[in-house]
């Protein structure tokens, strides 16, 4: 069966209802919650602060250290607590996605710790984590060259779909599912993170970039609104 | 832990006049809020905030072969993490002793009160039983993470529903929930931790007060019939407590149980509707 209509009734280029809010962890220097549909991530930033162990210290620059943590009850079958190969990789790509927009040279010898927790997972958790982390960094008052926003573009069968769900990731008819998470900067539209799981025809890849750019622009708008103090929950807005 | 001596002195001095820095009386709690359905993937979940302290807990069910000495009873594992998200002092890595202790005290409070009917968690004696996993995560630690954890775990259990299960093939259809709640009894124990600072005792310390405390005593209290019973107890900290202090704690706990817990139980009941 070709993939014509999305299971949740969204347009192909439509994001899920977004939740965004800053200040969710009072102890942290900056924190944020970001949700897309049923995926919910929270992030907290501590730092810049002195770096231990000292051998990791760099005299000319600060470093950013991310920890992506999927809670055991965020998924259907309990996830084993603690780091896994998957979570270590996602922590690293999150660091890479964020490092590009932070002027780490301003904080030599220090570390910025970014903690990410996935509370509820329905695909796109790394993107939600990155979005929450970017907001938390800004909320912490850390100077950023620009904002970043992250979205998982999918190719479900032969349709390019924005912000795919777990159900779509598990769609195996036709060309099957392809997951392409992007992280894009707000002004220069540079890509600080890109992965691909599945396959896409080379001549169609451009479509996925375009879809990601449009989605990230919308996300950026929401992130900025939340950073100005608004509590955004499009689930609730929809109910009204 | 890292508390400047001067703050500790101030806290101790004030307590001698039954006063606290944030204006509370010694046995007064901060605002307690309880929410459920933190994760729709969990069989049960809850969020508890006490003042600025926030804890979430989730229940996941699985099946396993029973332990040989309890071959017709289900099992339960409780874990707790104070990860770096919840405060600057916490470091990466597997749970350290303070988080392990919280998990064990919470576990004991739930287990020993007879709150869970273990036999009803048996699927096939000697072969297959249900196992309950409770995972507790602190989101923001401003003191009293222990009592918050215990309450969150309790509510998560109460909201939990079995996942669909096929006995023939022993497969759980995760994500599909039945309407069947866990086999819980009326013996619902609530945990209450007293902290000793100088010669004074307090409940629900904030971060500074918890740091200033020298010892603590956790009680899990239930009232299945007419009498209140203590179903678990744990002393923490290195400073000893006197017998008089213990008696004072028990007396205060009874008072507190009658004053505070109906309100908490009502909150839980309202959530269950």
Question: Per residue in A120-162, pLDDT tens?
Answer: 999 999 999 999 999 999 999 999 999 999 999 999 999 999 9
- To the nearest whole Å, the CA of B36 is away from the closest chain A CA by 13
Interchain proximity A77–B60, CB inside 8 Å: yes
Q: How far is B28 from chain A (nearest CA, A)?
A: 22
Residue B142 at interface with chain A, using a CB cutoff of 8 Å: yes
Residue A163's φ and ψ, nearest 5 degrees, are 55, 70
**Is residue B41 within 8 angstroms of chain A, CB to CB?**
yes
A25 and B81 in contact by Cβ < 8 A? no
Within a domain: B18:
yes
A49 contact B CB<8A: yes
**Beta carbons of B39 and A78 less than 8 Å apart:** no
Q: DSSP H helical segments within A31-159, as ranges?
A: 85-99, 125-139
Name every chain A residue with its beta carbon within 8 A of the beta carbon of B142: 26-27
Q: For residue A209, give how far its alpha carbon lies from the nearest alpha carbon of chain B (Å).
A: 31
Q: For all residues of chain B together, what is the average pLDDT? A: 91
- pLDDT at residue number A69: 96
Establish if A9 touches chain B: CB-CB under 8 angstroms. no
CB contact under 8 A, B175 and A76: yes
**Touching B: A residues 196-225, CB under 8 Å:** none
Spatial CB neighbours of A223, under 8 Å, sequence gap ≥ 6: A20, A34, A131, A134, A135, A138, A147, A149
User: Quick check: is B8 in a domain?
Assistant: no
* Range(s) of the domain holding residue B101: 14-272
Instruction: Tell me A8's DSSP state.
Output: T
Instruction: Judge whether A52 is closer than 8 Å to chain B, CB to CB.
Output: no
Q: Which residue has the higher pLDDT, B181 or A55?
A: B181
Q: Are B152 and B44 in contact (CB under 8 A)?
A: no
> Domain with B26 in it: what CATH number?
3.30.230.70
pLDDT single digits (tens) B32-61: 999 999 999 999 999 999 999 999 999 999
Q: In the structure encoding, which two tokens stand for residue B160, read together?
A: 């939990």
Candidate from A26, A74, A81 with C-beta closest to B41: A74
Residue A192, chain B, CB below 8 Å: the answer is no
pLDDT given at position B3: 67
Q: Which residues contact residue B2 at a Cβ distance below 8 angstroms, ignoring those fewer than 6 apart?
A: B89, B211
Chain A residues closer than 8 Å to B135 by CB: 71-73, 78, 81
Residue A240: pLDDT over 70: no
Q: Is B227 on the interface with A (CB under 8 A)?
A: no
Cα–Cα distance measured from residue A117 to residue A42, given in angstroms and rounded to the nearest whole number: 5
> What's the fold here for domain A18-233?
Ribosomal Protein S5; domain 2 (3.30.230)
Give domain status of residue B172, yes or no.
Answer: yes
Q: How far apart are CA A22 and CA A24, in angstroms?
A: 6
- Whole-model pTM: value is 0.86
Q: Is residue B3 part of a domain?
A: no
Domain map of chain A by residue range? 18-233
pLDDT(B273) > 80: no
DSSP secondary structure letter of residue B182: P
Mean pLDDT of chain A: 93
B42 conformational bin, left if phi > 0, alpha if psi -120 to 50, beta if neither: beta
For residue B155, give how far its alpha carbon lies from the nearest alpha carbon of chain A (Å).
15
Cβ of residue B130 closer than 8 Å to a chain A Cβ:
no
Number of folded domains that form chain B: 1
What integer pLDDT is reported at residue A216 of this predicted model?
A: 97
Q: Which two structure tokens, joined as six digits, stand for A170?
A: 């598990």
Is pLDDT above 80 for B259?
Answer: yes
Contact B58 A72 (CB under 8 A): yes
What are the tens digits of pLDDT across the range A163-175?
999 999 999 898 8
In 3D space, the residue among B27, B38, B60, B13 whose CA is nearest the CA of residue B160 turns out to be B60
For residue range B142-193, list pLDDT tens digits in order.
999 999 999 999 999 999 999 999 988 989 999 899 999 999 998 888 899 9
**Three-state secondary-structure class, residue B12:** helix
pLDDT digits (tens, 9 = 90+) for A56-99: 888 889 999 999 999 999 999 999 998 898 899 899 999 999 99
Distances (CA, A) of B204 to A41, A95, B20, B188: 28, 37, 11, 20
C-beta atoms of B41 and A119 within 8 A: no
């Amino acid at each position: 069966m070709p993939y014509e209509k999305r299971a949740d009734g969204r347009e192909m280029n439509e994001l899920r209802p977004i939740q965004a809010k800053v200040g969710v962890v009072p102890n942290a220097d900056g924190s944020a919650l970001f949700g897309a549909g049923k995926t919910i991530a929270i992030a907290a930033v501590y730092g810049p602060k002195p770096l231990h162990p000292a051998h990791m210290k760099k005299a000319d620059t600060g470093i950013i250290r991310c920890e992506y943590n999927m809670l055991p009850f965020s998924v259907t079958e309990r996830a084993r607590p603690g780091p896994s190969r998957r979570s270590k990789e996602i922590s690293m790509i999150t660091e890479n996605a964020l490092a590009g927009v932070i002027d780490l040279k301003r904080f030599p010898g220090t570390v910025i710790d970014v903690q990410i927790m996935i509370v509820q997972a329905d695909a796109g958790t790394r993107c939600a984590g990155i979005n929450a982390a970017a907001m938390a960094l800004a909320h912490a008052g850390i100077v950023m060259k620009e904002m970043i926003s992250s979205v998982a573009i999918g190719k479900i069968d032969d349709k390019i779909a924005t912000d795919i769900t777990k159900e779509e990731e598990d769609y195996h008819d036709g060309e099957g599912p392809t997951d392409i998470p992007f992280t894009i900067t707000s002004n220069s539209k540079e890509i600080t993170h890109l992965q691909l799981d599945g396959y896409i025809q080379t001549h169609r890849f451009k479509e996925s970039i375009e879809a990601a750019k449009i989605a990230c622009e919308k996300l950026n708008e929401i992130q900025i609104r939340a950073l100005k103090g608004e509590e955004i929950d499009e689930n609730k807005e929809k109910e009204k | 832990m890292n508390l400047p001596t001067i703050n500790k002195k101030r806290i101790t001095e004030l307590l001698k006049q039954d006063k606290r820095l944030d204006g509370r009386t010694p046995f007064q709690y901060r605002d307690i809020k309880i929410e459920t359905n933190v994760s729709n993937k969990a069989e049960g979940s809850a969020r508890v905030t006490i003042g600025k302290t926030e804890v979430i807990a989730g229940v996941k069910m699985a099946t396993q072969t029973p332990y040989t000495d309890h071959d017709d009873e289900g099992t339960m594992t409780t874990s707790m993490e104070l990860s770096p998200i919840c405060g600057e002092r916490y470091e990466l890595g597997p749970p350290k002793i303070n988080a392990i202790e919280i998990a064990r005290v919470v576990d004991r409070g739930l287990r020993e009160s007879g709150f869970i009917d273990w036999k009803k968690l048996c699927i096939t004696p000697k072969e297959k039983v249900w196992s309950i996993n409770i995972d507790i995560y602190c989101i923001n630690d401003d003191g009293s993470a222990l009592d918050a954890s215990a309450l969150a775990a309790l509510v998560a259990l109460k909201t939990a529903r079995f996942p669909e299960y096929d006995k023939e093939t022993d497969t759980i259809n995760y994500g599909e929930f039945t309407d069947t709640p866990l086999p819980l009894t009326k013996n619902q124990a609530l945990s209450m931790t007293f902290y000793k600072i100088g010669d004074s005792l307090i409940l629900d310390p904030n971060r500074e007060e918890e740091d200033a405390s020298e010892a603590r005593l956790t009680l899990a209290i239930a009232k299945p019939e007419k009498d209140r019973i203590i179903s678990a107890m744990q002393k923490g900290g290195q400073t000893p407590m006197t017998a008089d202090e213990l008696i004072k704690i028990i007396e205060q706990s009874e008072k507190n149980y009658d004053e505070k817990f109906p309100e908490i139980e009502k909150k839980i009941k309202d959530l269950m509707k």
